[in-house]
């Protein structure tokens, strides 16, 4: 499961499919989560699965399972080569399918009897590697129409999706934001396409920006649950959407757009830049719209700051993230997973570069954290040596994949894992409350199902495999552990941060597990 999640993250980070090799039956089934996650996130992935010998089909062979049929639900392509000779052609098609159009997962089934078969080399059908994905551009009339709608807007908003990050459109989008003076809102994994500290970022005023914008430009972002489907009451009844997407089937989902621009995000944003170079548009920074947005941004940041600077113990989420933000490298890759941990971390930890945040994504998948972190560390090791990977986990999220700490130590990947430990899912019980609950009888019937064992020493898992573990309760201990972990660029480390079990989010923050923006 973790190998498949890791391979999918490689696809997102590099633009070429990561490859996951799995055994038959249960091994294949455990990889289905990664296949589905990749396809729904639109990341390229190839899974190669072993399967039962062909002459044993329907006989109850070892780990026999209808893998090709089962994989079709989760993949763009699910295929078993008909012979050894066609394997190269099948591999080429899988690679091409995974990266062309909307990226996604592809599955290739290899029967067990193929392994020992022999074939004349001259009969093998070798094919060249596929060409890079073709770059499609929007119709000129659609670009002109979109520019006109934007030009007439009184309260515009640019929403940047992870499709923009995948297409490497950051330079064009930054130019567009600066040229037109548009406020922008990144979706979680699009953070950093335009730096979070850019003056036009309105992430801290998300609710009001969505609810009152009269024209919204979607750059590789889908109107799904993350954006409340584009419907009232989270959006204006008369809002005009301009959809820019590589997938024609996505255009018009849930709302009727005012303009549709079908094409590669990088290419289409270049078209928009060229159009706006012909017609001057600079949205006034002193408008009433900007005044309302800045007012909300200021009040929300002040509320977060008050929580972050609280001195009470145990610490709350905001205090923890305040110190993390101050001490981790600005260019690190952030992996975030959990409930409150991921939600609050998204608002408190800025990203300054694209493709440097990985989280539960469109599918809201828990258990991806350490697999993603391993993938990010391997890609960084190959492409940007020295770049750190910081994996911030809720304690329940860490439970899904905690034993991958052994993998991290085995390959000596200098990943820093931070477990924000509140003894539960959303909320937990402190040690005293736990003891009181146990007085009522068997913990299997008395302990709330969202509560975990208080004060668990997750850092000892890291120590057991040769990494460095820290158990911290105070801001000073957290600062010392962070400084030591960041300074040590060779050894994996885990900081187990004990926080108030009842610590929660501010009320207005976007919450990934609910349909509403509270």
Of 502, 492, 500, nearest to 470 (Cα)? Answer: 492
Domain boundary at 69, 94, 123, which?
A: 123
Return the DSSP state at 198: S
Q: How many CB atoms lie within 10 A of CB 207?
A: 15
Query: Does residue 242 sit within a domain?
Result: yes
pLDDT at 128: 95
Percent of the chain whose pLDDT exceeds 70:
97
Quote the radius of gyration of the chain (alpha carbons, Å): 24
pLDDT, residue 248, reads 96
Q: What pLDDT, in 10s, does the model give residues 411-424?
A: 999 999 999 999 99
pLDDT tens digits along 75-122: 999 999 999 999 999 999 999 999 999 999 999 999 999 999 999 999
**385 & 459 share domain:** yes
Same-domain check for residues 350 and 251: no
29 within some domain: yes
What torsion do the CA atoms of 420, 365, 213, 239 make, to the nearest 10 degrees? Answer: -160
Q: Six-digit token pair at 514?
A: 């609910």
Cα separation, 192 vs 325, whole angstroms: 15
- Closest C-alpha among 30, 42, 39, 40 to residue 4: 30
What is the distance between the alpha carbons of residues 312 and 500, in angstroms, rounded to a whole number? 10
Confirm whether 508 is domain-assigned: no
**Has residue 27 got a pLDDT over 70?**
yes
Same domain, yes or no, for 174 and 43? no
107 and 203 fall within a common domain: no
Question: Is residue 423 in some structural domain?
Answer: yes
* pLDDT value of position 280: 83
Q: List, for residues 448-467, the tens digit of each pLDDT value.
A: 999 999 999 999 999 999 99
- Structure-block tokens of residue 155: 């309260």
Q: How far apart are CA 187 and CA 157, in angstroms?
A: 13
pLDDT tens for each residue of 250-300: 999 999 999 999 999 999 999 999 999 998 889 999 999 999 999 999 999
Query: Is 447 inside any structural domain?
Result: yes
Supply the mean pLDDT for the chain: 95
Among 295, 327, 359, the domain-final residue is 295
CB-CB contact of 350 with 321 (8 Å): no
491 has a pLDDT exceeding 80: yes
Whether 504 maps to a domain, the answer reads no
- Examine the fold and report which residue of 95, 123, 151 is the final residue of a domain before the chain moves on: 123
User: Does one domain contain both 322 and 210?
Assistant: no
Q: Are 499 and 312 in contact (CB under 8 A)?
A: no
Whether 380 and 466 map to the same domain: the answer is yes
107 vs 509, higher pLDDT: 107
Check if the beta carbon of residue 234 is closer than 8 Å to that of residue 228.
yes
% pLDDT > 90, the chain: 96
117 domain-assigned: yes
pLDDT at residue 507 in the model: 55
48, part of any domain: yes
Q: Are residues 278 and 413 in the same domain?
A: no
Mean pLDDT calculated for residue range 41-48: 98
Number of structural domains (the chain) is 3
The answer, yes or no, to whether residue 515 has pLDDT greater than 50, is: no
Let me know whether 323 and 435 are in one domain.
yes
Which pLDDT score, from 0 to 100, does residue 504 have? 82
Under the banding of pLDDT at 50, 70 and 90, the label for residue 514 is very low
Same domain, 98 and 145: no
- Whether 425 and 318 share a structural domain: yes
- 59 in the same domain as 26: yes
pLDDT (tens digit per residue) in 355-413: 999 999 999 999 999 999 999 999 999 999 999 999 999 999 999 999 999 999 999 99
Other residues' Cβ atoms within 10 Å of the Cβ of residue 296: 18
Range of the domain at 41: 1-123
**CATH number of the domain enclosing 448:** 3.40.50.970
My answer on whether 345 and 427 are in the same domain is: yes
Strand residue runs (E) in 52-91: 77-79
Whether residue 162 contacts residue 41, with contact meaning beta carbons closer than 8 Å, is answered with yes
Residue 511 clears pLDDT 90, i.e. is over it: no
Contact 307, 318 (CB under 8 A): yes
Instruction: Categorize the per-residue pLDDT at 249 as very low, low, confident or very high, splitting at 50, 70 and 90.
Output: very high
Q: What is the mean pLDDT of residues 428-454?
A: 94
Give the tokens for residue 237: 């009844």
CATH number at residue 146: 3.40.50.1220
Confidence of residue 151 (pLDDT cuts 50, 70, 90): very high
């Amino acid at each position: 499961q973790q190998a498949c999640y890791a391979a999918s993250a490689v696809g997102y980070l590099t633009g070429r499919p990561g490859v996951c090799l799995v055994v038959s039956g249960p091994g294949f089934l455990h990889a289905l989560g990664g296949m589905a996650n990749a396809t729904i996130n639109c990341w390229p992935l190839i899974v190669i699965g072993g399967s039962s010998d062909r002459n044993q089909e329907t006989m109850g062979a070892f780990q026999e399972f209808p893998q090709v049929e089962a994989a079709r639900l989760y993949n763009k392509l699910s295929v078993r080569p008909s012979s050894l000779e066609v394997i190269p052609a099948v591999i080429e098609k899988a690679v091409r399918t995974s990266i062309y159009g909307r990226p996604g997962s592809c599955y290739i089934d290899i029967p067990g009897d193929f392994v020992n078969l022999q074939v004349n080399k001259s009969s093998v059908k070798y094919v060249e590697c596929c060409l890079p994905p073709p770059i499609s551009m929007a119709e000129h009339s659609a670009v002109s129409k979109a520019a006109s709608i934007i030009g007439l807007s009184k309260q515009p908003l640019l929403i940047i999706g992870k499709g923009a990050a995948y297409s490497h459109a950051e330079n064009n989008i930054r130019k567009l934001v600066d040229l037109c003076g548009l406020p922008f809102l990144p979706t979680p994994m699009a953070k950093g396409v335009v730096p979070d500290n850019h003056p036009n970022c309105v992430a801290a005023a998300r609710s009001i920006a969505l609810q009152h914008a009269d024209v919204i430009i979607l750059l590789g972002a889908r109107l799904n649950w993350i954006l409340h489907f584009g419907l009232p009451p989270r959006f204006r009844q008369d809002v005009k959407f301009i959809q820019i997407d590589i997938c024609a089937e996505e255009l018009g989902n849930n709302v009727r757009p005012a303009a549709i621009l079908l094409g590669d995000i990088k290419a289409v944003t270049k078209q928009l830049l060229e159009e706006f170079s012909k017609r001057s548009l600079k949205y006034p920074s002193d408008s009433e719209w900007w005044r309302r947005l800045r007012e909300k941004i200021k009040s929300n940041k002040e509320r977060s700051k008050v929580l972050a600077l609280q001195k009470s113990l145990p610490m709350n989420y905001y205090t923890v993230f305040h110190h993390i933000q101050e001490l981790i490298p600005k260019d690190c890759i952030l992996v975030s997973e959990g409930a409150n941990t991921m939600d609050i971390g998204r608002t408190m930890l800025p990203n300054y570069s694209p493709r440097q945040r990985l989280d539960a994504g469109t599918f809201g998948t828990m258990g991806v954290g350490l697999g993603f972190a391993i993938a990010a560390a391997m890609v960084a090791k190959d492409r940007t040596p020295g770049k750190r990977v910081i994996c911030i986990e809720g304690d329940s999220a860490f439970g899904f994949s905690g034993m991958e700490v052994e993998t991290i130590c085995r390959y000596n990947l200098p990943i820093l894992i931070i477990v924000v430990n509140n003894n539960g899912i959303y909320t937990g019980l402190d040690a005293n409350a736990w003891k009181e609950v146990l007085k009522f009888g068997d913990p299997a019937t008395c302990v709330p199902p969202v509560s975990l064992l208080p004060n668990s020493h997750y850092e000892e898992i890291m120590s057991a495999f040769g990494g460095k573990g820290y158990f911290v309760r105070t801001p000073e201990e957290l600062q010392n552990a962070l400084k030591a972990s960041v300074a040590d660029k060779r050894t994996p480390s885990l900081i187990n941060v004990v926080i108030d079990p009842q610590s929660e989010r501010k009320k207005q923050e976007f919450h990934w597990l609910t349909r509403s923006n509270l």
